[in-house]
Amino acid sequence: MTVEERRNALVNRLVERENIGERTEAALRTVPRHEFVPPSRTSDAYRDRPLPIGQSQTISAPHMVAVMTDILGLSPGDRVLEIGTGCGYHAAVTAEVVGSEHVYSVEYHEALAERAQSTLAETGYGEVSVRCGDGKQGWEANAPFDVIYLTCAASEFPAPLVEQLRDGGVILGPLGDDVQILTEGRTVDGSLQRESHGRVRFVPLK
Ligand code: SAH
């Protein structure tokens, strides 16, 4: 099987199992996940599982990227901040939906940030902005964002992130220490209304 066939087979299985929106499905069929995983892991790129990417970090499983993209209900032109670039795969899926120039991503580890930036450029998502730094501070210079999501677990949404959300914007991420719950927050008249989307397992926010 070619990589395209393996990618389509994976997405077919995901679409059968989960209720995946059309835009998300199209993005998953397009982004070459095998280009984002370490070379030694290429053969596992189209299995639905997280994989190690160095620095004790992991690329999320494809179904988790799909679920998060769907919950966020991303539309073309949405301005998005991602906390935890990792290898850049999730950022590329987001960019496929909203447009690369609208995606900002902060990564704590310099080696990962640099590698993600170059992989994004090589795969056609070079306009995604990646910065190395502490994601808890967000990216003030580019605020406000329509959407902010975290790919690492915090005990609570960091206050600067909520402040950098536009009114009516949505923030999504795993909250909790031992037990993590994928939590969605929407700003309504300045306060955050929450909805839970079940138990998840992510690496911790540093
Ligand atoms: N979205 C990624 C998944 C990355 S795993 C992908 O598609 O590959 C979570 C990432 O969050 C790790 O790379 C980790 O280094 C990063 N991270 C942890 N704490 C952070 C912080 N305080 N600020 C920014 N990134 C952080």
Spatial distance between the Cα atoms of 60 and 148, rounded to a whole number of angstroms:
17
108 close to ligand 1 (CB < 6 Angstrom): yes
Total count of domains within the chain: 1
Distance 112 CA to ligand 1 centre (A): 9
Closest C-alpha to ligand 1, atom 2? 86
Q: Which of 40, 43, 60, 118 is catalytic?
A: 60
What is the number of the ligand 1 atom nearest to the C-alpha of 134?
A: 23
Report how far residue 151's alpha carbon sits from residue 82's, in angstroms, rounded to the nearest whole number.
8
Closest atom, ligand 1, to C-alpha of 55? 15
For residue 170, the number of C-alpha atoms closer than 13 Å in the C-beta half-sphere is 15
**Binding site membership of 90 for ligand 1 (Cβ less than 6 Å):** yes
Whether residue 205 lies inside any domain: the answer is no
Told to judge if 60 belongs to the known catalytic residues of this protein, a careful annotator would answer: yes
21 to 55, 68, 73, 146, 179: CA distances (angstroms): 33, 11, 9, 19, 28
35, part of any domain:
yes
**For ligand 1, mutation pick of 31, 48, 90, 107 (most atoms within 8 Å of CB):** 107
134 assigned to some structural domain: yes
H or E stretch at 56: none
Indicate which CATH number applies to the domain containing 141. Answer: 3.40.50.150
Closest by CA position to 93, among listed 114, 126, 65: 65
**Cα(51) to centroid of ligand 1, in Å?**
13
Q: Has residue 139 been placed in a domain?
A: yes
Query: Could you report the per-residue pLDDT of 158-204, keeping only the tens digit for each?
Result: 999 999 999 999 999 999 998 999 999 999 887 899 999 999 999 99
Sequence-separated (6 or more) residues with CB below 8 Å from residue 13: 48
Is the residue at 96 inside a domain?
yes
Tokens matching residue 178: 């031992």
Ligand 1 lined by 138 (C-beta under 6 Å): no
Secondary structure element (H or E) that encloses residue 100, with its range: none
Residue 89, ligand 1, Cβ within 6 A: yes
The best mutation among 36, 72, 85 to test binding of ligand 1, ranked by most ligand atoms within 8 Å of the C-beta, falls on 85
User: What domain range is 95 assigned to?
Assistant: 3-200
Residue type, 31: V
**Residue 206 is assigned to a structural domain of this protein:** no
Residue 125 lies inside a defined structural domain of this protein: yes
Predicted TM-score (pTM) of this structure: 0.98
Q: What is the pLDDT of residue 190?
A: 79
Question: Using 50, 70 and 90 to split pLDDT, how confident is the model at 89?
Answer: very high
Best CA proximity match to 149, nearest among 45, 79, 46: 79
Residue 38 lies in a domain: yes
Q: Encode pLDDT of 44-87 as tens digits.
A: 999 999 999 999 999 999 999 999 999 999 999 999 999 999 99
Token pair, residue 169, equals 């914007």
